[in-house]
Structure 1
Amino acid sequence: MNNAPIGVFDSGMGGLTVMAALAKKLPGEQFIYLGDTARLPYGTKSADTVRRYALQAAHALTERGVKMVVIACNTASVGLPYLKEALAPMPVLGVIEPGAEAALRMAPNGPVAVIATEGTVKGGAYVHAIHDRSSAPVVQKPCPLFVPLAEEGLTEGPIPEAVARRYLEPLLAQLPKPKVLVLGCTHYPVLKKVIAGVAGPDIALVDSAAITADAVAELLELRDLKASAKQGPHKFLVTDAPDRFARVGEIFFGEPIDPGAVEQVDLQ
């Protein structure tokens, strides 16, 4: 079982930033990534619908024999309690809890700012996770244009900078000024340079991809699930447009994705 792969899923390609961080942190592990590209984005859908989609994605991964499931999607993390119950005793980890804990390590008393999709902001997942641990004040801002900018590869230059200023300047002008900014969508790390430039050096950024990789590594050690030998190359599953996934996914994964390694599947 220890040499079984780790399953990772997202509504589309953004979760590849998490998988890239996982692969770097845990080079001896094999990963299976599932992108529900036929039904993205999750950020505009109801919580009930997102929970149903998350369960279907998780079951598709367990059918492939994974030993752990990572929800590499902030919006889909609304389904974390349901997946933990449905997949028990298999460990299931989302990106919200590690991100909240990292934000509070950087600024124990806040204020904490969160930028995310509309669904994540409306659901208040980060607010709940932070307030479960602290009374630190939290401010939020949906940044929907960051997703198409990331997928078009517009990660630097005047266009993403103008969008970042429009979103961030009013958020960061609030008093007391936020001390930490959580990148609450897995698309956002590829825009990190632009976001950091607008936020300025006094505000720490929480990259959910890197933080989640650290949390997965700790959980593998805790559960004694670390692989003794890598079982093969990483695999990619999508529900639509595998060629586009391989082409655009390189932006998020940080290296080329072989189209032959991308398999189209149906989720039930």
Structure 2
Amino acid sequence: MSVNKCDQPIGVFDSGVGGLTVLRALKDLLPHENFLYLGDTARVPYGTKSAESVIKYALQAGGALVKEGIKMLVVACNTASAVSIDSLMTAYSPLPVVGVVKPGAEAACLASKNGKIAVIATESTVKGGAYQRTICRMHSGAKIIAKACPLFVGLAEEGWTEGEIVEAIVARYLKPLFAEFGEEGPDTLVLGCTHFPVLHGAIAKVAGDKITLVDSAETTANTVKRILTELSLPNNSDAAGRLSFLATDSAERFSAVGSAFLGGAINLADVRSIDL
């Protein structure tokens, strides 16, 4: 029996549970779509790995989702988007592949009034320069300074998202970054890792109300919706879409930790452990 392509799930993958913030935006905007999320929790974080390793892991994760039968692949990992998006597009063409870097850069350019944009991300994303290059192409006069904030991933994974200790760590990273822009400072801060929105409250408190925080989740969801429409692939069902999950490490930990990122409980029965 043939499968209706519109009914197929949208595949989403991340190095861990951070990409669930993107999945949350996707399901809010596209409530009738089915989603299959893969968290490569056995190898998190990607942000400290070499480009070669990230490309290898991304192709393995993407391949696992393609085998499950998906109609689109969303790379909900800034590091993988920055390093491996071209490799994924080539490997799985003509499957539409969407990353989070370009939508995040677009949102930053729209938000910034003075053209001074700060980017915080993982080491690999910062060193790769994907946000810097993409923002510069869209806003030629922009001043962009990026800084790696590796401890943020650990804080988010452990559920340490607020309080004096968290704010002190955030300030240790952000204050020197903002000072590099001079007296006026940046007016936009890009959260260039999908783990970072969980720390939104602490980051916003340190950044102050003159700096707009941008994450790519909502903009990525809008991009996915547009592409689905262009390719005549929207799910036309009136029923709520299904959420299913794959994890390369403990399903129990994925369910417990991931719930905070998704903004709702993850049923352990919906999480399947796999090897890549």
Q: Smaller-chain TM-score range?
A: over 0.9
Alignment of 1:104-183 (within 5 A): 104-107=109-112, 110-135=115-140, 136-174=142-180, 175=182, 176-183=184-191
Quote the Cα distance in structure 1 between the aligned partners of 2:164 and 2:191: 20
Amino acid at match of 2:179: A
Quote the Cα distance in structure 2 between the aligned partners of 1:33 and 1:156: 27
Quote the Cα distance in structure 2 between the aligned partners of 1:156 and 1:45: 28
Q: Percent identity?
A: 55
Q: Does structure 1 residue 192 correspond to structure 2 residue 197?
A: no
Alignment of 1:215-234 (within 5 A): 215-229=223-237, 233-234=242-243
Using the TM superposition, give the Cα deviation of residue 155 of structure 1 relative to its aligned residue in structure 2, in angstroms: 1.0
Does the 8 A contact of 1:189 with 1:209 survive in 2?
Answer: no
Pairing partner for 1:203 from 208, 211, 222:
211
Pairing partner for 1:236 from 220, 245, 252:
245
Using the TM superposition, give the Cα deviation of residue 257 of structure 1 relative to its aligned residue in structure 2, in angstroms: 0.6
Using the TM superposition, give the Cα deviation of residue 108 of structure 1 relative to its aligned residue in structure 2, in angstroms: 6.2
Q: Secondary structure at the match of 2:6?
A: coil
Does the 8 A contact of 2:31 with 2:240 survive in 1?
Answer: no
Q: Secondary structure at the match of 1:214?
A: helix
1:118-168 alpha-carbon deviations (Å, 9 max, x no partner):
111111110111122222111011111111111121111111111111111
In the comparison of the two structures, how many residue pairs are matched? 267
Root-mean-square deviation (CA, aligned residues, Å) is: 1.3
Does the 8 A contact of 2:114 with 2:186 survive in 1?
Answer: no
Structure 2: which 5+ residue stretches go unaligned? none
Amino acid at match of 1:197: K
What is the TM-score when the length of structure 2 is the normalising length? 0.93
1:218-265 alpha-carbon deviations (Å, 9 max, x no partner):
221222211111585211001111110001111111111111111011
Structure 1: which 5+ residue stretches go unaligned? none
Amino acid at match of 2:258: G
Q: Secondary structure at the match of 2:246?
A: strand
Quote the Cα distance in structure 2 between the aligned partners of 1:157 and 1:171: 21
Q: Secondary structure at the match of 1:132?
A: helix
Quote the Cα distance in structure 1 between the aligned partners of 2:186 and 2:228: 33
What is the TM-score when the length of structure 1 is the normalising length? 0.96
Moved more, 1-10 or 105-114: 105-114
Q: 1:231 to 1:210 in 2, by over 3 A?
A: closer
Quote the Cα distance in structure 1 between the aligned partners of 2:113 and 2:128: 23
Number of the residue aligned with 1:42:
46
Quote the Cα distance in structure 2 between the aligned partners of 1:51 and 1:231: 34
Q: Does structure 1 residue 253 correspond to structure 2 residue 244?
A: no
Does the 8 A contact of 1:18 with 1:212 survive in 2?
Answer: yes
Number of the residue aligned with 1:55:
59
